[in-house]
């Protein structure tokens, strides 16, 4: 059987996503009821981090343990990965000693090369281009609060970064719309986002126009990891792209607010929004755990039934 990786959001079809979400519901309910579910006993997840993380590390490590397996953390600083061993060689070795690999790194090309040389499934835990596990959790969170996302409008305010690109891919797979507003010079790059077309998103110069009537308003840091040298310039360029309560008022009445976290109150989001009634950021963070458990189950075991 061909190895199934999750390197970009569109590596999963709509049918596969529906299965993963059905399993997420069941796995989450088992966890909430303190029922043990150990389908991955004796299996090992290796987590490679070339950038910092709180949520991704915690949710994968805890998730693997909760499924009966174990997780090993490697980073660039104290492994041979930071001393010039090739990605291809590392992939050969790591994938002979483990059953699943999660990587957080810089260019998408690195994870693609790793996957091409891996004997086991590889999961993207964030690259400069994409953050598929985040949007997997965000859409699950939307569904929990509001039902199907099909036909809905998501307003993306801020940088056209890895999280934005992944929303755009998800819109194509799950048939919803994204209204994007970025400052001039930070527009969506469709090739980098690896989109099929332009049917599922629209760009707005004015962030208020993008937010108008949206079912979900979401944003992210102005400076992503790896782009710190641009921080000062970005603080100036993004100053008018803060999600504040005026913006939430112009969105649909029952609009949700999401942020992948970590957040900077007073920069990309006003405290009154992220700490307000429309914000579901803690559910979003928690759901990383549940969706990734369902994802790991699917990549390792295929479509197991809900009767487990
Ligand atoms: N949202 C997210 O991926 O958080 P971490 O950087 O803490 O993993
Ligand atoms: N866009 C952010 C997301 C952090 C989870 C970054 O890449 O730093």
Residues 21-41: pLDDT tens digits? Answer: 999 999 999 999 999 999 999
pLDDT at 82: 84
Among 163, 259, 262, 264, residue to substitute to test ligand 2 (most atoms within 8 Å of Cβ): 163
> Is pLDDT of 80 > 90?
no
- For the Cβ of 260 lying below 6 angstroms from any atom of ligand 2, the answer is yes
**Domains of the chain with CATH codes:** 9-131+288-301 (3.40.50.1370), 134-284 (3.40.50.1370)
- Percent of the chain exceeding pLDDT 90 equals 95
pLDDT at 71: 98
Residues near ligand 1 (Cβ within 6 A): 53-56, 126, 134, 260-261
- For the Cβ of 161 lying below 6 angstroms from any atom of ligand 2, the answer is yes
What is the Cβ-side half-sphere exposure of residue 165, based on CA atoms within 13 angstroms? 23
Residue 3 CA to ligand 2 center (angstroms) comes to 27
State yes or no: is 249 an active-site residue. no
What is the Cβ-side half-sphere exposure of residue 68, based on CA atoms within 13 angstroms? 11
pLDDT at 78: 83
pLDDT at 306: 55
Q: How many residues make up the chain in this entry?
A: 308
State yes or no: is 104 an active-site residue. yes
Summarize the confidence of residues 48-67 as an average pLDDT.
Answer: 98
Summarize the confidence of residues 283-292 as an average pLDDT.
Answer: 99
Summarize the confidence of residues 214-225 as an average pLDDT.
Answer: 98
> Is pLDDT of 81 > 90?
no
- Sheet with 122-124: list strands edge to edge: 70-75, 44-49, 100-104, 122-124
Which of 7, 71, 2 is CA-nearest to residue 295?
A: 7
Residue 304 CA to ligand 2 center (angstroms) comes to 32
State yes or no: is 288 an active-site residue. yes
Residues 159-189: pLDDT tens digits? Answer: 999 999 999 999 999 999 999 999 999 999 9
pLDDT band at 147 (very low <50, low <70, confident <90, very high): very high
pLDDT at 2: 87
Q: What is the mean pLDDT of the chain?
A: 97
Separation of alpha carbons 197 and 107, rounded Å:
23
Summarize the confidence of residues 41-58 as an average pLDDT.
Answer: 97
Please, what's the largest Cα pairwise distance for the chain?
Answer: 54
> Is pLDDT of 308 > 80?
no
Nearest ligand, measured from the Cα of 61? 1
């Amino acid at each position: 059987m061909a190895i199934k990786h999750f390197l970009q959001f569109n590596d999963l079809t709509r049918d596969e996503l529906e299965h993963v979400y059905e399993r997420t519901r069941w796995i989450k309910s088992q966890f909430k009821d303190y029922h043990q579910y150990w389908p991955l006993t004796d299996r090992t997840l290796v987590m490679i981090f070339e950038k910092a993380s709180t949520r991704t590390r915690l949710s994968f490590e805890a998730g693997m343990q909760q499924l009966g397996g174990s997780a090993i953390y490697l980073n660039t600083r104290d492994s041979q990965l930071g001393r010039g061993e090739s990605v291809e060689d590392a992939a050969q070795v790591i994938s002979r000693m483990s059953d699943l690999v999660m990587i957080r790194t810089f260019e998408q090309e690195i994870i693609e090369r790793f996957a091409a040389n891996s004997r086991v499934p590889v999961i993207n835990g964030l690259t400069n281009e994409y953050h598929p596990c985040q949007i997997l959790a965000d859409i699950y969170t939307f569904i929990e609060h509001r039902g199907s996302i099909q036909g809905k409008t998501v307003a993306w305010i801020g940088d056209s970064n890895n999280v934005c690109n992944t929303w755009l891919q998800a819109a194509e797979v799950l048939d919803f719309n994204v209204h994007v507003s970025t400052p001039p010079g930070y527009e969506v790059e469709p090739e980098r986002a690896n989109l099929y077309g332009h049917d599922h998103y629209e760009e707005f110069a004015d962030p208020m126009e993008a937010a108008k009537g949206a079912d979900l308003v979401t944003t992210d840091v102005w400076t992503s990891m790896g782009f710190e040298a641009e921080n000062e310039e970005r603080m100036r360029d993004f100053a008018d792209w803060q999600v504040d309560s005026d913006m939430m008022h112009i969105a649909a009445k029952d609009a949700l607010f999401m942020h992948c976290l970590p957040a900077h109150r007073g920069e990309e989001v006003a405290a009154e929004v992220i700490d307000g009634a429309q914000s579901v950021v803690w559910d979003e963070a928690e759901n990383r755990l549940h969706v990734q458990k369902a994802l790991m189950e699917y990549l390792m075991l295929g479509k197991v039934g809900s009767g487990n």
